[in-house]
Amino acid sequence: MNETVNDNAPSFVKQAMRNMVRKGSKSLLHFGLTGVGFLAFIVLVAWLGRPSLP
């Protein structure tokens, strides 16, 4: 449909990939910390919402 618009402007995915390659380990560190934080949040919510059986 509007391929000329996409050809002129780089997509957000391409820009993000370029930034990841340029920043390297810093980007991977932030990605890892985000993943660990998300998993910790899910475990905390599951622990707080656990059913209390008699």
pLDDT for 6 beyond 90 = no
Which H or E element spans position 21? helix 12-23
24 assigned to some structural domain: yes
43 assigned to some structural domain: yes
Give the chain's mean pLDDT: 83
Buried b / exposed e over 7-36, threshold 16 CB at 10 Å, is eeeeeeeeeeeeeeeeeeeeeeeeeeeeee
Can you say how many angstroms the Cα of residue 13 is from the centroid of all Cα atoms in its chain?
Answer: 12
pLDDT for 26 beyond 60 = yes
Q: pTM score, two decimals? A: 0.54
Tally of domains in the chain: 1
36 assigned to some structural domain: yes
49 assigned to some structural domain: yes
Domain hosting residue 26, numbered range? 14-54
